Amino acid sequence: MLTSYAAHFDTPAGYLDFARFGPPSRDAVAATARALEESARADHTTVDGLMRAETVARDTAARLAGSDGRHTVLLPNASTGLFHAALGIREGVVLTPSTDFPANHYPWRRTADLGRATPRWLDPAPGEGVTPDLVRAALTDDVVAVSVSAVDFRTGFRVDLAALREAIGPDRLLIVDAIQAFGVAAMDWAAADVVVAGGQKWLRAGWATGCAVLSDRALESLEPVLTGWTGVEDVGVFDGVEHPPSPDARRWSITNLSPVTAAAFAAALELVEQHSVAAIEAAVAERITELTEVVVAHGGRVLSPADPARRAGILSFTLPDRDPAVVAKALHAEGVTPTVRADSLRFSPHASTPPEAAERVAAALSSLRN
Ligand SMILES: Cc1ncc(COP(=O)(O)O)c(C=O)c1O
């Protein structure tokens, strides 16, 4: 556990569902309350003042991605970024894993319906994720992009972004849904052209927060199909004529976001930056190792990669002959919050998760033996 980081949270010890939702820090809650209270007493300075949080959040996200403010834009969620990317591709085939979270499916289904980019589904072998070999085998001349999750929501499999870039070459776009990784896994974001993240999970910023980081290649080649009035040059000039899209990542802005959620996002990102992704990642890895040991010791079958280098903060498993709903009931009784699926369970601890979490899981799984 990263004690100095953990001191910012009130999350119960047994909460192990960060891959679904990351309870925000006291800092993010306070920033939200402050911004909303200020808005309630608005005068002529208030709105402009509150909107400064957007620049802070954007620049902090950019630094965490190894990029800069010109290449970074705030978004209300990850899906909006995936839609921007998808609609920006005029034509061609996009390789997308059939196993990905559906947020990375629907944008490509919609573009196919519009006669633009069409998806070709990649089918990773069970227990595997998207490997460079899998991508290489699917590459044909009409493939213009690969769109993939940095960390698989089901298994925690971590893709090798640099190796994927090498596999697809410099001209195809690499689009990455980073929501299960950004801020908790040091990955080679510079290898990607589009990195989108929502802030409601591992970043612990609360809902309606997120960002996208674009490469120069993405800025040049993606058509700004969804650019709204806030994404153009001379935003404040209401002269009735069409303004060109902003030359930078702001071209992905459709309208103003909430400065209240931007304040929460800024506070959350600053907390990550203060404690460092490397330290957070190491603390998560320690908990995953412990939880894996407990699950295996109780006869569980682990569905996540065994190699620590190929996994992030997600541990999926089944207990043979036990319905996941029954296992969940035992876990709930010990104050543990897992993700419960029809066919499996998932633990996703954070750097604030204490060692006590594994003890609670052990007690719950032991109770099932009786
Ligand atoms: C991999 C992945 N991508 C996208 C999403 C959805 O993100 P958002 O609600 O920010 O669009 C989720 C989870 O809800 C997810 O696990």
Whether residues 271 and 295 share a domain: the answer is no
Task: Indicate if 126 and 184 belong to the same structural domain.
Answer: yes
Residue of 211, 196, 205 whose CA lies nearest to 257: 211
Range of the domain at 289: 3-24+277-367
Number of domains, the chain: 2
Distance 62 CA to ligand 1 centre (A): 20
Judgement on whether residues 351 and 281 belong to the same structural domain of the protein: yes
**Number of Cβ atoms within 10 Å of the Cβ of 152:** 28
Q: How far apart are CA 138 and CA 132, in angstroms?
A: 10
Contact status, residue 327 vs residue 344, Cβ threshold 8 Å: no
Residue 311 sits in a domain whose CATH number is 3.90.1150.10
Q: From atom 7 of ligand 1, which residue's Cα is the shortest distance away?
A: 78
| Among 92, 18, 28, residue whose Cα is nearest residue 353 | 18
Residue 114's CB: how many other CB atoms inside 10 A? 11
Q: How far apart are CA 46 and CA 43, in angstroms?
A: 5
Protein residues with CB under 6 Å of any ligand 1 atom: 77-79, 101, 103, 149, 153, 177, 179-180, 198, 210
pLDDT given for residue 127 in this prediction: 80
Average pLDDT over the chain, rounded to an integer: 97
Please give the distance, rounded to the nearest whole angstrom, from the Cα atom of residue 119 to the centre of ligand 1: 19
Is the pLDDT reported for residue 78 higher than 70? Answer: yes
Atom 2 (ligand 1) nearest CA: 101
Give yes or no: residues 68 and 144 share one domain. Answer: yes
If asked whether residues 263 and 312 sit together in one domain, one would say no
Atom 15 of ligand 1, residue of closest alpha carbon: 101
Total residue length of the chain: 370
Residues 50 and 138 in one domain: yes
Distance, CA of 218 to CA of 239 (rounded, Å)? 29
Count of CB atoms situated within 10 Å of the CB of 70: 16
| Ligand 1 centre distance from Cα of residue 198 (Å) | 7
Res 128: pLDDT: 87
* Same domain assignment for residues 186 and 297: no
Instruction: Please tell me the predicted confidence (pLDDT) of residue 286.
Output: 97
Q: From the alpha carbon of 19, which atom of ligand 1 is closest? A: 16
Q: Are residues 269 and 308 in the same domain?
A: no
**Longest pairwise C-alpha distance within the chain:** 74
Cross-strand partners of 73: 212
For residues 304-325, average pLDDT = 94
Structural domain ending residue among the three candidates 222, 247, 275:
275
Cα(45) to centroid(ligand 1), Å? 35
User: Which has the closest alpha carbon to 351: 289, 288, 283?
Assistant: 283
What six digits make up the tokens of 240?
A: 């009735």
Tell me which residue has its CA closest to atom 16 in ligand 1.
153
90: Cβ–Cβ under 8 A, 6 or more apart, which residues? 116, 117, 223
Q: Per-residue pLDDT averaged across 29-33, rounded? A: 98
DSSP 213: E
Q: Is the pLDDT of residue 263 over 80?
A: yes
Q: Which residue among 179, 196, 257 has the greatest number of ligand 1 atoms within 8 angstroms of its CB, and so is best to mutate?
A: 179
Q: Where are the beta strands (DSSP E) in the chain?
A: 72-74, 93-97, 118-122, 143-149, 173-177, 194-198, 210-214, 301-302, 315-318, 339-340, 345-347
The pLDDT, as a whole number, for residue 235 is 96
Pocket test for ligand 1, best of 106, 153, 157, 187 (most atoms within 8 A of CB): 153
Residue 26 has pLDDT above 80, yes or no: yes
Q: Which of 17, 18, 20, 79 to mutate to test the pocket of ligand 1 (most atoms within 8 A of CB)?
A: 79
Closest ligand 1 atom to the C-alpha of 79? 11
- Ligand 1 centroid, distance to 328 Cα (angstroms): 23
Give every CB contact of residue 261 below 8 A, 6+ residues apart in sequence.
Answer: 32, 76, 205, 206, 207, 208, 209
Mean pLDDT of 21-32: 98
The mean per-residue pLDDT over the stretch 160-188 comes to 98
Q: pLDDT tier at 61 (50, 70, 90 boundaries)?
A: very high
Contacts of 219 (CB under 8 A, 6+ apart): 71, 247, 248, 249, 251
Residues 240 and 335 grouped into a single domain: no
Q: Which atom of ligand 1 is the closest one to the Cα of 77?
A: 10
Please report the pLDDT score of residue 126 as a whole number: 83
pLDDT band at 370 (very low <50, low <70, confident <90, very high): low
Q: What is the mean pLDDT of residues 253-258?
A: 97
The residue with greater pLDDT, 28 or 125, is 28
Say if CB 209 and CB 199 are below 8 A apart.
yes
- Return the CATH number at 113: 3.40.640.10
Residues 6+ apart with CB under 8 A from 283: 1, 2, 5, 350, 351
